[in-house]
Each structure stands twice: as C-alpha cells, then as structure tokens.
Amino acid sequence: MNVLIVGGGLTGSFLAQVLLQEGQQITVIEKRPASADRLQAMLPAIRVIAGDGDDPATLEQAGIRAADVVVATTGDDEDNLVVCLLARQEFRVRRTLARVNNPKNEWLFTANMGVDVWVSQAHVMADLMREEIAKTL
C-alpha cells in the first residue's frame, strides 16, 4: 500500500517505521528541514520531502495522487484538518486519517473536513488509563 504521512515528528516518524516493517511504501512530508534530514538518515527506505504538507504543490510533488491513504500527524489541528480537506476534495484520496492534538477540537474532525478516521492521543491515553485505574479498585 502507498501511504503518505504529513508531519515527520515523533508520531509521524514512528508510524513510518512501523509501516515500513510491514512492507508498505511510505512518503513523509516534514516542514522542518533538519527534522526531514534526520528522518531520511534514520529510515533510508522511505521517501522524505521537506516542505509544507498543507501546500497543494508539495502534496502533489509527494505523489498524493498515487496514495491509497493519507495520514495527517502534525502537531497543529488546523493543519491536519486542511491536509485531509485537500486530500479528499482536491486530490480524491480514498482514505484519510488525522491526529487530534487538542481533544477540544475533536468535533471538527468530520467528513465535512474530509476526515475518515481520527485518533485523539489524549482521548486514547485517558481511556487506557481509566481502564487500568478501574482494575486497581
């Protein structure tokens, strides 16, 4: 499968690493040039593009039209929303996933913004911790 990840921070690069082990084809767009270089050195088998993932020209350069899935994992919720919106409306990507940074913004991550699936780290972590806390009682 062809996966395009926007955001090469901790979340994005760890996801790239995991998917690479599964044998997927990975492209990562990372805004900060130093982080992009570091990621490319760490995972030579993936394609890293240094640039703005919310810029349609950069998305096109990264091969978004050939992507089966686009994952928006930047630390900015509005950037992740715009990436999904462009992926769906402009580039007709089949499936989009987004990271929610601030749980307060969860309500925005809908089909209206081109988001198929969202993962809210604070939400997921709170749920897991709540379960563990319940076990100790």
34 or 57: CB nearest other proteins: 57
**How many residues line the site for other proteins (CB under 8 A)?**
19
- Binders in 73-132 for other proteins, by CB under 8 A: 76, 78-79, 81-82, 85-86, 89-90, 104-105, 107-108, 112-113
Residue 28 near residue 13 (C-beta atoms within 8 A): yes
Q: What amino acid is encoded at 87 in this protein?
A: A
CA-to-CA separations, 61 to 19, 56, 117, in angstroms, rounded: 21, 9, 24
Find the shortest distance in angstroms from Cβ 86 to other proteins: 7
Nearest-5° angle of CA 134, CA 118, CA 37?
Answer: 110
Least Cα distance to 114 among 78, 76, 82 occurs for 82
Q: How far apart are CA 29 and CA 19, in angstroms?
A: 15
107 or 134: CB nearest other proteins: 107
Find the shortest distance in angstroms from Cβ 80 to other proteins: 9
- Binders in 44-73 for other proteins, by CB under 8 A: 54-57
Q: Does 38 bind other proteins (CB under 8 A)?
A: no
Least Cα distance to 72 among 22, 3, 24 occurs for 3
* Sites of contact with other proteins (CB under 8 A): 54-57, 76, 78-79, 81-82, 85-86, 89-90, 104-105, 107-108, 112-113
